[in-house]
Amino acid sequence: MNRRMILLNLALLALAGVLVWTLRVNWLEAQARERAVLERKVEPRTVLAPPTPPPAKATTPAEYIDVANKMLFSADRNPTVVVEPPKPAPQPVMPALPDYNGQMAIAEPVILLSMANGTQRSYQTGEQVGDFKLVSFDQEKAVFEWKGKTIERRLEDLRPKQTVAQAAAPPPPAPVTASPKSVASLDRPNAAPAAMASPGVNSAAPPATGKAVTSLSGSIGTKTNDSSASDTAGDEVFGPVLAGGARGCLTADNSPPGTVHSGYRKVQVMTMVGALCSWEQVK
């Protein structure tokens, strides 16, 4: 038994020695290969020089147009610049023209005008009337200047609105009744024609001045002073008899100048002391 153990131990010892010798041989060979690799000389390769790059091109601002148009952080970028034209200045509004109240021609002709505040005074050609300058005037029209513009208006258009409305409105028709005057005219066949026309009928032709004529009543035939005074003695439209056969105007008479009534035409003349009104026979 002991003999076998000794032989086994010897065999194991010989095997261990063989393994150690094999490891040593392999290690020596590995050292020799490493040494051969490290000591081997490598021939250098010939390296060609790289080609010369082309020169850089100068950058122009137009090449950045896509950067401006496609800028994600600024959506309002727009290469087209919109230039808004300047807004025109608002045109000034012309104020109301002055109202016409009459004329006087004693020494130098003057015209009576009143502004919007109601102040009335006389003006001569070339004077300043509020914001307007009076250029010229006559019996039919007046010419003003405002900011270099010439403004021409008829005098009838410049009259106060209240006066124009009264002149345009016809008087209320009176009931047709037989008056003692008409009865007396029927008894006198040789007398002048009596005032038997219906109220509101315009029996007179317009005067030469071109103004509108309103006929209250009566005819416009030519009459003598005596017959006219006697026929119109009881007429409530006329005032007292004046020199030359004319009749005066009543304070309550609102008929416009040029009104025809019973053969008389209403005439109004502006003077320095005011308006003079009378009824004159139609010739």
DSSP string, 189-209: TTSPPPS-SPTT---SPPPTT
The answer to whether residue 71 is domain-embedded is no
Q: What is the CATH number of the domain that holds 118?
A: 2.30.30
Whether 210 has a pLDDT exceeding 80, the answer reads: no
pLDDT of residue 197: 35
pLDDT of residue 234: 58
- For residues 238 and 264, the answer to whether their CB atoms sit within 8 Å is yes
Tell me the average pLDDT across 227-242: 66
| Higher pLDDT, residue 127 or 72 | 127
- Same structural domain, 201 and 266: yes
The answer to whether residue 186 is domain-embedded is no
Going by the DSSP 8-state scheme, the letter that residue 23 receives in this structure is H
pLDDT above 70 covers a percentage of the chain that reads 71
Tell me the average pLDDT across 131-157: 90
The answer to whether residue 56 is domain-embedded is no
Cα–Cα distance, 90 to 187 (Å, whole number): 75
- Residue finishing a domain among 119, 147, 165: 165
Q: Count of domains in the chain?
A: 2
Cα–Cα distance, 81 to 68 (Å, whole number): 13
- Same structural domain, 146 and 201: no
The answer to whether residue 106 is domain-embedded is yes
Cα–Cα distance, 171 to 160 (Å, whole number): 19
Question: What does the angle CA 278 – CA 245 – CA 269 come to, to the nearest 5 degrees?
Answer: 25
Whether 172 has a pLDDT exceeding 60, the answer reads: no
- Residue finishing a domain among 165, 199, 219: 165
- Same structural domain, 225 and 144: no
| Secondary structure of residue 110 in the 3-state scheme | strand
The answer to whether residue 145 is domain-embedded is yes
Q: Taking the model in full, what pTM does it have? A: 0.33
Lowest-confidence region among 21-30, 79-88, 141-150, 252-261:
79-88
The answer to whether residue 265 is domain-embedded is yes
Domain holding 157, by residue range, is: 99-165
The answer to whether residue 52 is domain-embedded is no
- Residue finishing a domain among 129, 150, 165: 165
pLDDT of residue 188: 41
Per-residue pLDDT band for 230 (boundaries 50, 70, 90) equals low
- Same structural domain, 160 and 110: yes
- Same structural domain, 198 and 261: yes
Predicted confidence (pLDDT) per residue in 86-105, tens digit? 888 888 888 888 888 888 88
Helical ranges in the chain per DSSP H = 2-39, 65-69, 161-168, 180-187, 225-231
**Inter-CA distances, 191 with 61, 87, 188, 224, 231, Å:** 111, 79, 5, 11, 10
- Same structural domain, 159 and 227: no
The answer to whether residue 69 is domain-embedded is no
- Same structural domain, 277 and 196: yes
